[in-house]
Structure 1
């Protein structure tokens, strides 16, 4: 019989284990409450979509579509499918398919895994997780500002530090076309400094050339025509309206004319919250307005704005600013000796759970010393001890394992029928 070869996880696909998962759950719960406070409702889309949705919505010449998508041919119907690399296109597809904007604008969010085939690095994996927030059907800078103010509140709720806001405006289609022509002319004058990637993109997606990290191209990029200088009166008014509202909220920001975002569907407002504490991948949250995407994907024209947060990066920052102790497995650990005591402990544990307490009954039959070591390791506040004497008297011994409540190391006897109420009151 051949020996089975051990299977490891895929590169860039990361397991999350206890106690790390407890922080994930706390973040998810906090995010849901935060979004509910602003009227956002959960919308869930499938992990798999038609590849053409992303090619159309994200753009054929983006890095995501060209190099990073996990796509395959479905052998049952010979269709090309893709595991979602982001949420926005799928949410817009869903809104169009279900006529979701028929009666009113909508505030929605999604949270879950997305997939990109790129080189794994700190805070970036091939399966990673996003919080995606979209305001569909809202045209004004007031909602752009609301999203940014929301995010400032989230950073405060998490106690995060050293996150700064950068803004830009991508204007409208005609303004971008005029800037694009000037930018391509500028790039053609500097062919000698363009790397292979920049030469490939200079006609198909010249804005992305300005987002280069190549040191040899920085002077050329800094001297390039700025899209902001091509904005007309309406685009400038939208940008100033956003800035006025951020000033009202006391939120600091800087204009970054080279901020373009990685997806083709943005217009007007674009923004990023960035930090220097995550290495090369400093963007914690990115978003902006995409008023043309709904029509581009076959819907009736409607404005939209949104953002996405990388959850792994957010958790990394949160751990840096508010490091966790290992969370407790339970509040009460039940220790027992003998089969009758074990069975009684199981019934008592259910009564504790009915009272809203988290309780664990020691599994198996080992000595008291071993059980108390396990009780202490569980993080429990109290150990409930059951042996022959306790069963005979109808009284449980409660030993307090942590400071507070009845005091560290103290022990008391409590009647079985009063145990749940007693522990609930003390814990």
Structure 2
């Protein structure tokens, strides 16, 4: 990301690839998104593959997220000067090279040994904010260090049952330089996920993805023995803390009291929930259905976005995830009112295939496609992108 006033021409990445072709080199990773997905699936073992590619129930919602985005069609405009483009934006106090963040995804060490550390390095190099998961394979402090000084980063909170543990996680995130707290609301229980169940695969039960818990002083103080001496007891305590099915809106008030950082509520799909979030004094909502991993048969997240945007107006920042598979998808979400989008599975495909380099390749490809799609649609900046650039496909 450039520090000066000149926007980065992300679309020029394609010319780097073509120039390499003059030297007889072709891309190491598949360029097409579907080919990249297939290559990643072939690389992972069965358990990790099911975890990354699986969804709830019949995976109907997971498919619908992608298909609903495809039903929105971009209507290009002609003969507009698009010689330079600027896709930079700022959300809260976080400056971004584009309206793109990396979605929080847990247990990334099942995908690549370096997991979140590799992702943090790649994101930090490009200035793309990473949202680190509570359920990471590495601690939030180590992830922050891997990203480098000044790298934008947010922290995703899985809301535990113990209020003191919640406070500890939030305090640690602040101390480590995270710039916002994203509270996930849609996982009070784990959904019925057939791919994971068929292999009886839940990495948390093997102490994978619980590094933040094992390192936390509040969590450790609740154990009779340190996790190093009795790992299974620590896992048992984690299981008892991870999800909080008794959580209600009143608990949001306490989380709000813990920090001055911006708070985003993740998993908002209904306009009434968006209005309640506004009433509770949070700063933003994230329209998401957890990538189809929680409620099978749920509405596609992109179809929920316009209603949430209308409900909160300019009072809250509205973010979007679930189903983003391309730069064109990012543009569609921005057109429908999102201030920025989060991308999840595609960067995991890059991680699986080539670690930090793979993540960086995926991000550069996504940003290039966004830049070029913006230009070829007849726009130079995000502020001219609204619902009028889209048409609804008739099925």
TM-score (norm 1): 0.26
Which is greater in Rg? Answer: 1
Which structure is higher in RCO with an 8 Å CA cutoff and minimum separation 6? Answer: 2
Which structure has greater strand proportion? 1
TM-score (norm 2): 0.28
